[in-house]
Amino acid sequence: MRHLLGIEGLRRADIEALLGRAEAHLHGGPDASHVLRGRVIANLFFEDSTRTRTSFEMAAHALGAEVLNWTTAGSSVSKGETLLDTVRNIEATGPVALIIRHRSSGAPHLVARHVRCAVVNAGDGTHEHPSQALLDAFTLRRRWGRLDGRTVLIVGDILHSRVARSNLHCLTALGAKVVLCGPPTLLPPGLESFGAELTTNLDAALPRADAVMCLRVQSERQGENFFPSTREFSRMYGLNAARAERLKPEALVLHPGPMNRGVEIAPAVADGPRSVILEQVAHGVAVRRAILEEVCR
């Protein structure tokens, strides 16, 4: 695998190989601190990020790499430099991989066509967030052993969610059923063709779910109002304590972050016994170590 630009198109064997390598890292495995020793990984974040950037940085350090953390603040982007000029100039300094987050869908794909080093998509617009989907699947697989036959309910702002799209591809490839739930205006048609079930009725979908993934309403990507009010959204699609009681006793709760507590998820649920939200964060480092190992070979 030269690049990791998305989950769509990856074979189940490709995904399981990455998850297997992440499992080895999580258990300590062989010493990998020399794998990228003397090499540089460039974190190029054209959008804000806490978890993903930190996680990739820790993963790179664990493999012995040096990390270049670049942001648009204070860069020549503010002077009108193009994306391709920026990444070509950074590539000229010698990194073996570019980790790219960008507000425009397809930006990492464009970069990958114009550089020689590896490119990893750390989230592009409303398109894909492959490393997040892999760590989500990894978290569920560690709890369940296998995903075959399980039902994962993803609820919230599906329309603007790159996490939902990558998870749809990843979870279905691993044998799970994916149910997408949200207001009609945030539930784009056409995702059924990728194997998803679409519904606007959260209360009816909850009892069937083995896991629920709550998504943040991405107001920064919305040019219009997609629902009457935040209070209305929370009333209809927020996972509160009463709704959590409708879940199976062993059902899990996930959230890719950042959370809007009291909107898409109640604090009591986010911090409750069903929550594996902090496990997702912890597993992200092991999964991203596996990704960097794969694309930098």
Q: How far is CA 208 from CA 81, 152, 215, 238, in A?
A: 50, 9, 19, 17
Q: Print the SS3 string covering 43-62.
A: EEECCCCCHHHHHHHHHHHH
Does 162 appear as a known binding residue?
yes
Does 261 appear as a known binding residue?
no
- Residue-wise DSSP of 179-201: EEE--GGGS-TTGGGGT-EEES-
Does 21 appear as a known binding residue?
no
Q: Please write down the long-range contacts of 256-261, taking CB distance under 8 Å and 24 or more positions apart.
A: 256/129, 256/132, 256/136, 256/163, 256/213, 256/215, 256/216, 256/280, 257/50, 257/51, 257/216, 257/281, 258/50, 258/51, 258/216, 259/214, 259/216, 260/216, 260/217
Does 216 appear as a known binding residue?
yes
Does 185 appear as a known binding residue?
no
Cβ-contact 147, 12 below 8 angstroms: no
* Residue owning tokens 């409708």: 246
Does 52 appear as a known binding residue?
yes
Give the dihedral sign, CA 157/163/169/170: negative
> Comparing C-alpha atoms, which of 91, 95, 198 is closest to residue 153?
198
Where in 113-202 does DSSP place strands (E)? 118-124, 151-155, 177-181, 197-199
Partner residues linked to 45 by β-bridges: 71, 101
Euclidean distance between CA atoms 13 and 16, whole angstroms: 5
Does 142 appear as a known binding residue?
no
Does 258 appear as a known binding residue?
yes
Does 116 appear as a known binding residue?
no
Cβ-contact 19, 6 below 8 angstroms: no
Pick out the residues of the known binding site for L-aspartate. Answer: 79, 162, 216
Pick out the residues of the known binding site. Answer: 51-52, 79, 101, 129, 132, 162, 216, 257-258
Pick out the residues of the known binding site for carbamoyl phosphate. Answer: 51-52, 101, 129, 132, 257-258
